[in-house]
Structure 1
């Protein structure tokens, strides 16, 4: 069906507005990129805007040599990978039974879970609970209290609920048990949704700042979010274990910009590989006739 003239104008305006909005959101990142790769003198003179001036790698050299960013990067990877695995496993385990009409106490448990979206114990009770469980200064303090996001779990539950009953009936006729049904039928059909929810969990764990600052006392266990935050809010150069020549060849702004880019870069790399699952048709080809 061919679009009318009015629809063409509407689409053109939408594309223009969205393109401008996307560019405005991307400009700060471009400026950080330019700052991190520019000569310190040009940065101090305020001549850096959207493109590096006199390319220079000293900010990254100082960042990787003089800070604990490599250790913090590894900590962030551990927190994110283990956190996503645990959260997705728990979310699926809770969402699947709640999606079935025949599950006992389904309505009561659903209302109890929704209740947690509205009311919470608060920061101090949460900290006292984590402390009483002996989880302070342990990554389990980051994983267990926020193991399940109610919103994410509800999305998974709604998706499972919309899977055609005929698929499950056909699998049961062929002799599938409940666990095999989940692994062979439900999860493969739900792959695009699971990838999207995993990305939501992953970004939340990767950017986890407040909980790390509260529950983790050992600075060697800090993740990138906390390390970069400390660098950004330091009045002078971050605590850099570098020689005096390199110290004089850098600026605080350049090192901070490099730190922010190192933190953002993994998410920018991962997203293009999972973006296709957001728009992929989930049930295409699952049923015939």
Structure 2
């Protein structure tokens, strides 16, 4: 019996490993194709619809994208908006979530109702634009941060995580003389790093991918984030009109430029993820232990 169980366990583990490996390959192959196509020549892209290793490696698409300093300025703007917006959003979300996680908060249910209400209904694009205009945020980088300062879903996740922390932690901190802010910054936040890291990544990806708000609120092309500029580069490579930065080089193949744009827009987020991976793993372990 024991031997049969051991054999069955090995077969299950082997089949599981094969299936997971196939899923991983299916997931990675499209991105490898995007990277390979960004380095391929126009002739090879015309011959092959799918490739993983270009016969001749070319940097024409990347030279075209970085042919002026405009792209670097847009990258710096995106980094500034992403870092500043993430810190601002996490500060507001953490304070709001901690307050709502306190069961003795007066009017807690009514506040939660109005927050959840915003997840289902909103004023729409035109009222939001008018508010941004009337508050003087139009054509300012703050217009990319203030209107999306708090995401209700992310805040609710933080609130639920705070509520699952042992009550004894706060009680012992109060005995030691900590006030509410001391409990939050010395006890709750250090114990909630998995959730905070996860929500921070959600906010960072949202700010990094800012496109529509920049189109609506920024009329000065010098303040465009990288996503908007990359879109204009793709438009220029397609042979359409473009009113932004001027490029003197002959555009490389449109497909190659599109693939290079995807790589440039994706790599920064991929570089950040490994630093937060340990918090995701720790969060999964905590969840399994609590379950």
1:150-203 residue CA offsets vs partner (Å, 9 max, x unmatched):
000000011111111101111111111221111111110011110010000001
Alignment of 1:53-92 (within 5 A): 53-66=55-68, 68-92=70-94
The 1-side partners of 2:21 and 2:180 are apart by 47
Q: Aligned to 2:137, what secondary structure does the other structure show?
A: coil
Give the alignment partner of residue 221 of structure 2, picking from 219, 222, 227: 219
C-alpha distance in 2, partners of 1:60/1:118?
A: 42
TM-score for both structures, normalised by structure 1:
0.87
1:236 paired to 2:242: no
Cα distance change on mapping 1:66 and 1:103 into 2, 3 Å: same
Asked whether the 8 Å contact 2:38–2:259 carries over to 1, the reply is: yes
The CA deviation at 1:45 is 3.7
Give the Cα separation in 2 of the matches to 1:229 and 1:131.
Answer: 25
Q: Is the 8 A contact 1:33 1:258 kept in 2?
A: yes
Distance 1:67 1:31 in 2: 28
| Unpaired stretches in structure 1, ≥5 consecutive residues | 285-289
In structure 1, C-alpha distance between the alignment counterparts of 2:17 and 2:227, rounded to whole Å: 34
Could you tell me how far 1:28 is from its partner in structure 2?
2.5
> For the Cα contact (< 8 Å) 2:32–2:52, is it kept in 1?
yes
Q: C-alpha distance in 2, partners of 1:20/1:233?
A: 36
Alpha-carbon deviation of 1:125?
Answer: 1.0
Alpha-carbon RMSD: 2.6
Contact 1:190–1:282 under 8 Å retained in 2: no
Aligned pairs for 1:37-186 within 5 A: 37-46=39-48, 49-66=51-68, 68-186=70-188
Give structure 2 stretches of 5+ with no counterpart.
287-291
For 2:9 and 2:119, the matched residues in 1 are separated by 40
SS of equivalent to 1:275: helix
- Compare the two structures and name the one with the higher helix fraction: 2
